[in-house]
Structure 1
Amino acid sequence: MSDTAPPGADWKPDLDVIRAAAVVAGETALGYFRKAPDVRWKNEGRSPVSEADLAANDVLKTRLLAARPDYGWLSEETDDDLSRLSRETVFVVDPIDGTRAFIAGKELWCVSVAVVHRGQPVAGVLYAPALDELFEAVAGGSALKNGAQISVREAKPGETLHLAAAEDTIGKLPAPYRSAVTRIPHVPSLAYRLAMVADGRIDGTLVKKNSHDWDLAAADLILASAGGALADLDAQPLSYNRSTVVHGVLCAAAKPLLPGLIAASRSMEPH
């Protein structure tokens, strides 16, 4: 993991900045919701981007860099400027996490904004305007949902675990582990799925490879502040704002459940 934030650093002012920007960006996106926004395809036709994504991105970039002009910038909807690697502190944003759901008129999408310092998220906000839900956390503080503290569910031994994962992935889990698992229906926003672990609605999730910093950074901090953790299959926490922003297979759960979930996931990987 990269160097940690300075002891006693106060990131609450940054949390205030990103919260305010995320709310404005979310309301901007909501203005396009269920109104057939223009859509184009990127990444060789694999990923949709709507005019709402771009409008929300413009709001975030304008507001955030005006407030913190010395910070770097990493967004799904902005061409990557590697000068961010020379900045200790960077905004990592996804203007709409769950664009496919947004385009389809489904409510499970959110604005994701994080402040990352020396590779670690130190302030994070997820705003789901169609659901009127705002998740937030700051380094050293509690995770909040609409102002109330949230925490992961403390599953007892023998209880059924509710996991979010692709159906084919659940089917490949080792039989003893799989027998204690109930798969929850697809959640189109990865960031929101991690927030569901943070607020105890589900016990964990498996994340297929090729997720990106902007999908994860804000939700990672919110989950950690709620008593959970996000890790790779070596049980290592993630580091952000690297030259590559793509991640491998990941697991997220309450801390006591994470080793078992990682072990089950590793057994599915080719050796």
Structure 2
Amino acid sequence: MPVPELAGEVAAIAADAGALAIKLWQTDFRRWEKSPGNPVCAVDLELDGMLRYRLGQLLPDAGWLSEETIDNAARLGAKRIWVVDPIDGTRDYLRGRSGWAVSVALIEHGQPVIGVLDAPARHEVWTAAAGQGAFRNGERLHASNRTELPGARVPADQLPKADRDLTPVFKPNSIALRMAMVAAGDADLLATLRWGNEWDIAASVLLAREAGASVTDAFGRPLAFNTPSAQAFGILASSPGIHAAAVERLAGRAEATVGRR
């Protein structure tokens, strides 16, 4: 099946997961912490099972990596793999806020070729296929053309003193949606300085790339997926004109953080 046609099938499956999530949203479901500060709920698990079954039917040979499934090293031998976060932004989901999304990506040879975010509480569907562009509700996306780092819009609740020349804008809990803001030109820069999981970013990395944004790890290095650790240090997505300046600004902090690990 050609990638664009396959992307449509993936979006339809993600939409069904989103419909179930919105149906159960703000109801009385079980919730707990997998570890301190790491919430999960029964809806996460229900969506995970649904997505694994439906996506598995679509591509029976594909491997599987999900936040809510115990990892299996067999995925490392797969030529293609689903990378899924059933609810990215669980905190917002639990608080009754809209900043969450179902995130599904298909990885081939270490890179995303299909990315879908279904955000029903925001009435948004984000889709991307390699070489085909990125879209929100059917409208093609373009990253901003900003060339100066000072004043760049960053999804953030607050900024550290060293970054107060930047401009904070609304921050959904979902990092996938924050990266999608860069793809849409609603933000100029998204940066993290921590070890993160592939399922948090796989779909939105493709969205940002296809919209013309620059996307690397926190050190400015290329990202790879379906790695043994399923992690990367930091994510840096921005308009191309400010990417090098952002890498330079964050270099010392990134090195210090990695050194403390």
Tell me the TM-score range normalised by the shorter chain.
over 0.9
- The partner residue of 2:27 within 17, 28, 35 is 35
Superposition RMSD in Å: 1.8
**Structure 1 residues 33-182: aligned runs within 5 Å:** 33-42=25-34, 44-155=35-146, 157=148, 160-165=151-156, 167=158, 170-173=160-163, 178-179=164-165, 181-182=166-167
Amino acid aligned to 1:260: A
Structure 1 residue 157: Cα displacement: 4.4
Distance 1:152 1:81 in 2: 36
Distance 1:75 1:209 in 2: 19
Distance 1:99 1:159 in 2: 32
Structure 2 equivalent of residue 5 of structure 1:
none
- From the superposition, tell whether residues 54 and 158 of structure 1 become closer, same or farther in structure 2 (CA, over 3 Å): closer
CA contact (8 A) 1:199 1:226 kept: yes
Overall identity of the aligned pairs, in %:
32
TM-score, normalised by the number of residues in structure 1: 0.89
- From the superposition, tell whether residues 19 and 260 of structure 1 become closer, same or farther in structure 2 (CA, over 3 Å): same
Distance 1:214 1:165 in 2: 21
CA contact (8 A) 1:137 1:221 kept: yes
Unmatched 5+ residue regions in structure 2? none
Structure 1 residue 243: Cα displacement: 0.5
Amino acid aligned to 1:90: I
- Greater than 3 Å deviation, 4+ residue runs: 156-159, 165-168
Structure 1 equivalent of residue 14 of structure 2:
22
Unmatched 5+ residue regions in structure 1? 1-8
For these two proteins, the number of residue pairs brought into alignment is 256
Structure 1 residue 56: Cα displacement: 1.1
CA contact (8 A) 1:28 1:55 kept: no
Structure 1 residue 233: Cα displacement: 3.3
TM-score, normalised by the number of residues in structure 2: 0.92
Structure 1 residue 88: Cα displacement: 0.6
Could you tell which deviates more after superposition, 228-237 or 137-146? 228-237
- From the superposition, tell whether residues 158 and 32 of structure 1 become closer, same or farther in structure 2 (CA, over 3 Å): closer
Structure having the higher helix fraction is: 2
CA contact (8 A) 2:179 2:237 kept: yes
Distance 1:158 1:239 in 2: 26
3-state secondary structure, aligned to 1:249: strand
- From the superposition, tell whether residues 234 and 208 of structure 1 become closer, same or farther in structure 2 (CA, over 3 Å): closer
